[in-house]
Structure 1
Amino acid sequence: MTAPRILVVDDEADLRELLEITLVKMGLDVDSADCLAAARSRLAQHEYGLVLTDMRLPDGLGIELVREVSAQYRNTPIAVITAYGSTDNAVSALKAGAFDYLSKPVALDQLRLMVQSALRIRKADSPAGATAAPAPASASPLVGQSAVMQDLRAQIIRLARSMAPVAITGESGSGKELAARDIHAHSARADKPFIAVNCGAIPEALMEAEFFGYRKGAFTGANDDREGFFQAANGGTLMLDEVADLPLPMQVKLLRAIQERRVRKVGATSEEAVDVRLVSATHQNLAECVEQGKFRQDLYYRLNVIELRLPPLRERLDDIALLSDAILARLSGAGTPTVLSPTALEALRGYSFPGNVRELENVLERAMAFANDGVIEVADLALKRGASMPPDRVQIPPRPPAAAPAPASTQSSPSSSPSPSLLQAEAAGAVGDASGSASLVEQLDKVERQVIRRTLESVRFDQAQAAEKLGLSQRQLKYRMQRLSIPQSEQ
């Protein structure tokens, strides 16, 4: 099997020689170039598993080569070597399409880790590795066929090839951790750990120890050596959820760990190298946090190299049916899945979901507990008032044909139970007569309140008899009465 070939582009002969020796010891073939023109000539003649270029060359800038390789040789990762402390150059290169970067003086252990990561990507992109690529698009945890979701999944596949930090933004409950896991699953690091950390849930006094680990005896209670999040995610992906909640002192330490790619355990005297792909997430506006002095600008630029925005659920209401089916199938387990009635589905489509997909999951899980015969009706959803979509976004289902009226004896006898079709027809008629200016949810609440109150009055507020007539359990009836503000006794 032919060894992968690496192209090193640098005008410093000593550094080129050092890099060549290191790469050859790794069992790789190496070509060298001292300028952009020579690099372009080499690229035209050979296929490379990695291009490593300096940012400053005699006949131009390395970022020019980054753009050319990213456009013309899409399966060839390219990394850059930047001067010490030149953060802006590194960020610019990553945004231009660079796979990764190294800072001068080059640390050989970091070089080896970076080359190994690049070759894993190259292997995954090759025809032989394509069949073994992890997590195909069809297996994405991000459910939906709307245009915004298809575009989101395409973005994830593209940026999964890079080592550049990704900042995921989106409202609470929109699925930021799912997106981070999808990025990891499509990357060459899929067989390595994925560690998700909620930055807002860690006490400030314990943050350094939790992130970087500690040595035995470093503080009271440190009875053994322990690794931190960075060590646990070594070789894989570290997700910093709610990163805006990090206190400023921890932001300084995190910035150094990202820049140096080395961490020091609490109580240790030496640092250790870590190879981690960082993904951050927050529902807050980080740029505003920077302006307010709550978040360091330099850390913001290091984390926000690539921004991935997750759309709120109200921007992709066409996905409600697919999402609901997937959630109900998961909640039902091995049993027969609970389903939504057509009117319940329309009610969900007319709701704004301030809590996004997480709220949809909660609504459906609660509704399953009240559903009869495995079918969720509108009343089972118990959607919050005041969170409906504007009337022009709501589609009210057509009024079904009225059912035949029940016999008079059935209506007058307290012990008899009207058929479900009668109640449905009565509700449908009331919906058709309701004011068109109200939302669908408000109209259905009004209908349900009228039907329940009339039934209670017919049995003198005997809840057991009313529940039997309505085809509900007493618990379901009591819950509906509380939600609709129906008094428990005759007034």
Structure 2
Amino acid sequence: MTTQQPRVLLVDDEKDLCMLMQMSLKRIGIQAEVAYNITQAKQQLKAQRFDACLTDLNLPDGDGIQLVRHVTEYYPNTPIAVITAYGNMEIAIAALKAGAFDFVSKPVRSEDLQQLLEKAIIPNEDNSHLTASSAIEERMLIGSSEVIQQLKHTIRKISKTQAPVFITGESGTGKEVVANLIHSLSNRKNGPFVPINCGAIPVELMESELFGHKKGSFTNATQDKQGLIQAAHGGSLFLDEIAELPMNMQVKLLRAVQEKKIRPIGSDVEIAVDFRIISATHQNLEALIQQGKFRQDLFFRLHVMDIRLPPLRERGQDILELAHYFIQKICQEWQIPNKQLTLTAQQFLLEQRFSGNVRELRNIIERALTLSDSTVIDIQHIRYHSESRLSSQTSNPAPVKVPEPEVKPISHQSEILTPRQRFKLPEEGLEAYLESIEKNILLNALEMTHWNRTMAAKKLQMSFRSLRYRLKKFGLDIEGDEDS
């Protein structure tokens, strides 16, 4: 690590404020240079290297966002943050979208200034993170297609900021993997990554799970409990299936995002929390806003930086890269010899639409490894019961909206259970026998809907939360490895 003092550029036309910030930074070993307008700032940036830049948004010769864009374009390794008027979140969001690392509101407190610049400077003191970042990308985001290379570039850019990130994509495209990658490449990587599936938490427990509670605040509250938002302090909070959040929780989340403070149930004291929020959904939030099911103000707070994840059918040869990756990974987990895909099997995979995306591909590979008794996986192993799950389309179809499977309630066990299963007498007791039937019903519903859990829940006439509980109960709810 360098022994030189970190150097930052302060850009503000208020000379007294600049002097106070210089003195505050000097006390913590940071050297600060001052520019009073955009012209002076550009001259100083050209003349010497800075570890970070902090600019006011209202300057005599222009808008501070102009300087943000200039620094982002010409000095991409110099993080730039902005100073905003208190409560002016719209301008702050505009600056974040323009490339600002973070923002601080006036009046600027010494501790806020120190925390902000430490976040910006520490990652720049050691360039070894660049090689490590590439290794993390290759391990977590498999694929070499152009669309994935562009996605990696976007993730690298976004990971340098503190801006909220909103991830969209079909079910199974890897939303949690991308959220985790953003966290792992950011300066919060040493803090916790706390993933929460908003659709998996029962409504009556949601406030306690997210915000925590004090002992005695309600029946069965026998001790204090830390909420998941507080557990993300110093790190990143990932809210998957954000569209499932009830309206009353949306109000509370909005305040937590805006004020970075939470109040546990039964407490009259607010707790300060420092977290970056990343959210995701496969639903159309703008349509839900029009229907009155999602708050527009919360949408604007979450939708600062957005990432769209491509469906697997748009990723070409990535299908085979992922298939080989899953084969190797699963063989290691199962402690069995590695197997190879035949050319026929590879071609078959490239011709599928994979409406269940990466999650569906992994499920197919797991089944094929189970069925194959040799050192290869051939087409018959992949095509086992695949007619109900895979469509024989070309690997590069014209972009079209994939029709959702027709939802019909499952009303008779005979539709999904084989004769052997229907008439087999229980050998391990009634409870175990009924659980095996339930597991088979869940598996068949998932296969009928291409592992789309929302559609499977509708088919089974149960809530998404109930389905998610049962999937976890039977070990069928796979997380990670491009699974969300």
TM-score (norm 2): 0.75
Does the Cα contact within 8 Å between 1:134 and 1:190 map onto a contact in 2? no
Shift of 1:240: 0.9
Aligned pair 1:6/2:5, yes or no? no
Question: 2-side partners of 1:392 and 1:279: how far apart?
Answer: 31
The SS at the match of 1:27 is coil
TM-superposed deviation, 1:269: 3.0
Code of the residue aligned with 1:367 in structure 2: it is: A
Amino acid at match of 1:363: I
* Shift, 1:392, TM fit: 8.8
Q: Which has the higher contact order (CA 8 A, sep 6+)?
A: 2
- Preserved contact between residue 123 and residue 129 of structure 1 (Cα < 8 Å): no
How many angstroms does 1:17 deviate by? 4.2
Structure 1 residue matching 2:317: 3-state secondary structure? helix
The farther-off stretch of 375-384 and 245-254 is 375-384
Q: How far has the Cα of 1:307 moved from its partner? A: 1.2
Kept after mapping to 1: 8 A contact 2:314/2:396: no
Counterpart of 2:85 (choices 79, 83, 86) is 83
| Helix, strand or coil at the partner of 2:237 | strand
Query: Shift of the alpha carbon at 1:316?
Result: 1.6
Q: Which residue in 2 is equivalent to 1:338?
A: 339
Q: Return 5+ residue gaps in structure 2 as ranges.
A: 398-446, 448-484
Equivalent in 43, 50, 53 of residue 52 of structure 2: 50
1:224 — aligned with what?
A: 223
Q: In structure 1, what is the Cα distance between the partners aligned to 2:134 and 2:394?
A: 40
Tell me which residue corresponds to 1:285: 284
AA aligned opposite 2:363: N
CA spacing shift, 1:24–1:184, aligned 2, 3 Å: same
Amino acid at match of 2:373: N
Change (3 A) 1:195 1:392: closer
Change (3 A) 1:200 1:74: same
Rg larger for? 1
CA distance in 2, matches of 1:245, 1:107: 37
Letter in 1 for 2:116: M
| Residue type at the aligned position of 2:40 | A
The C-alpha deviation readout for 1:144-203, integer Å capped at 9, x for no partner, is: 122111221222122211111111111001111111111122222222211111111122
Partner of 1:296 in structure 2? 295
Q: Distance in 1 between matches of 2:395 and 2:80?
A: 50
Structure-1 separation of matches of 2:257 and 2:186: 20
1:315 equivalent to 2:317? Answer no
Between stretches 63-72 and 36-45, larger displacement belongs to 36-45
Deviation per CA, 1:231-265: give whole Å up to 9, x if none. 22222211111111111221122112112222233
CA gap 1:368/1:98 in 2 versus in 1, 3 angstroms: same
Offset at residue 287 of structure 1 (A): 2.0
Q: Are the equivalent residues in 1 in contact too, given 2:313–2:395 (CA < 8 A)?
A: no
Verify the 8 A CA contact 1:121 1:161 in the aligned structure 2.
no
Change over 3 Å in CA distance of 1:391–1:191 after alignment to 2: closer
2:108 equivalent to 1:106: yes
Q: Do the aligned residues in 2 keep the contact of 1:109 with 1:273 (CA within 8 Å)?
A: no
1:177 paired with 2:193, answer no
Q: How far apart, CA to CA, are the structure 1 residues paired with 2:101 and 2:395?
A: 46
Find the counterpart in structure 2 of residue 240 from structure 1: 239
Match of 1:461 in 2: none
Aligned partner (choices 384, 388, 391) of residue 391 of structure 2: 388
- Which residue identity does 1:186 align to in structure 2? L
Match in the other structure for 1:94: 96
- Alignment correspondent of 1:136: 135
Structure 1 residue 13: Cα displacement: 4.2
User: 1:121: Cα distance to partner?
Assistant: 2.7
Partner in structure 1 of residue 18 of structure 2: 16
Give the direction of change, closer, same or farther, for the CA distance of 1:367–1:179 in structure 2 (3 Å limit): same
TM-score by length of 1: 0.74
Letter in 2 for 1:111: L
Decide whether the 8 Å contact of 1:136 with 1:186 is kept in 2: no
The match for 1:347 is 348
The 10-residue stretch of structure 1 (178-187 or 164-173) with the greater mean CA deviation from structure 2: 178-187
SS of structure 1 residue aligned to 2:103: strand
Residue 206 (structure 1) aligns with: 205
User: Structure 1: how far apart are the matches of 2:167 and 2:117?
Assistant: 26
Q: Assess if the C-alpha contact under 8 Å between 2:56 and 2:64 holds in 1.
A: yes
Q: Contact 1:52 / 1:81 at 8 angstroms: preserved in 2?
A: yes
Counterpart CA distance in 2 for 1:296 and 1:107 is: 32
CA contact (8 A) 2:210 2:228 kept: yes
Q: Which residue does the alignment assign to 1:364?
A: 365
Give the whole-Å Cα distance in 2 for the aligned partners of 1:359 and 1:202.
24
Taking a change above 3 Å as real, the CA distance of residues 193 and 378 of structure 1, as seen in their structure-2 partners, is: same
The one-letter amino acid of 1:227's match is Q
Deviations 1:356-397 (A, max 9, x none): 110111112122222131332323222134742436969xxx
Contact 2:9 2:52 in 1 (8 A): yes
Decide whether the 8 Å contact of 1:140 with 1:182 is kept in 2: no
Of 36, 51, 54, 1:34 maps to: 36
Are the structure 2 counterparts of residues 212 and 123 from structure 1 closer, same or farther at C-alpha, using a change threshold of 3 Å? farther
> What residue identity is the alignment partner of 2:12?
D
Change (3 A) 1:63 1:138: closer
Give the partner amino acid of 2:90: D
CA contact (8 A) 2:351 2:395 kept: no
SS in 1 for 2:65: helix
Q: Shift of the alpha carbon at 1:10? A: 2.3
Partner of 2:160: 161
Where does residue 453 of structure 2 map in the other structure? none
**What is the total number of aligned residue pairs between the two structures?**
392
Q: Find the aligned partners of 2:350 and 2:373 in 1 and give their Cα distance.
A: 22
Equivalent residues of 2:350, 2:394 under 8 A apart = no
Q: Specify whether residues 65 and 356 from structure 1 end up closer, same or farther in structure 2 by C-alpha distance, changes over 3 A only.
A: same
Q: Tell whether the 8 Å contact from 1:198 to 1:240 is kept in structure 2 after alignment.
A: yes
* 1:165–1:302 contact (8 Å) kept in structure 2: yes
One-letter amino acid of the counterpart of residue 164, structure 2: P
- Return the alpha-carbon distance in structure 2 between the equivalents of residues 217 and 50 of structure 1: 47
Moved more, 282-291 or 102-111: 102-111
Q: Distance in 2 between matches of 1:90 and 1:164?
A: 10
Letter in 2 for 1:114: L
Deviation at 1:344, TM superposition (A): 2.2
CA distance in 2: counterparts of 1:142 and 1:234, whole angstroms: 26
Q: Are residues 18 and 221 of structure 1, via their aligned partners in 2, closer, same or farther at CA, if it must alter by over 3 Å? A: farther
- Structure 1 residues 74 and 175: CA distance shift in structure 2, 3 A: same
The alpha-carbon deviation at position 100 of structure 1 amounts to 0.5
C-alpha contact (below 8 Å) 2:192/2:233 kept by paired residues: yes
